[in-house]
Structure 1
């Protein structure tokens, strides 16, 4: 009779849909995404103009024409890096963006003139393209 561990190992090897493993904290992707969020949050602390500039620079090239006004608000995002994973199914208006798409859970804080006006948990998609990280500018709803 096979041991339970051997049976479990055999089942894992036969599985046709492996569970994606989140990148380790030491991986280049995690370091780069951490830097992306730190830069975004630093821009938000400097104010709406600085954040608008950051969002323009980092807007995915395929969607540079899709921008929203934050109407004087700033948006900080704290990523839950353990949730970060590739997302090859992501589309914007039915199109897959160029590059490798990642998704990460985030806690978003929206401020107007330094006062918190909203908080939300959600996910944020980022794309690495030609060694650079891009996002999709937020649009208040």
Structure 2
């Protein structure tokens, strides 16, 4: 009985080994929102801290945190500030997204693009002008989170 058991186990081992195959290429870690969650949260924390300092500070933050592939596509928010409350539980990878105004032949931004739900409060001189709920993209590239500066309608 023992010989039969070893024979069966040996045969099973050969069959399993015969069914495996090597995959060419370099192993890369799977995209995981958990790995980048802190970077994305810090992006929104820094954005909101800049808003508390005023429009000029937030404008500077948006310039510094603009995705490098779109650094020349900034809009001026004037004297408006934005407070963005991210729903981090909705964070997910968005591999096919390209900025909507980037044109027909636009390429996917370098880095890992995430999308999440946000609530945005728009203020002028501290007074609430409006609130909006929507989606926002944040890209993690080389261990840094980048965004896409919002443009008021009509710019």
Q: TM-score, normalised by structure 1?
A: 0.80
User: Aligned residue for 1:103?
Assistant: 115
Shift of 1:30: 1.6
Residue 62 of structure 2 is aligned to residue 67 of structure 1: no
Deviation at 1:95, TM superposition (A): 2.1
Q: How many residues align?
A: 117
Where in structure 1 are there 5+ consecutive unaligned residues? 1-21
Q: Secondary structure of the residue that 2:76 maps to in structure 1?
A: coil
TM-score after normalising by structure 2: 0.73
Q: Distance between the aligned counterparts of 2:134 and 2:145, measured in 1?
A: 19
Choose which of 11, 24, 35 in structure 2 pairs with 1:28. Answer: 35
**Alignment partner of 1:80 is 2:90:** no
Q: Distance in 1 between matches of 2:108 and 2:35?
A: 23
In the TM superposition, 1:2-17 aligns within 5 A as none
Task: Quote how far apart the aligned CAs of 1:118 are.
Answer: 1.0
Q: For residues 91 and 45 of structure 1, what CA distance do their matches in structure 2 show?
A: 30
Moved over 6 A (4+): none
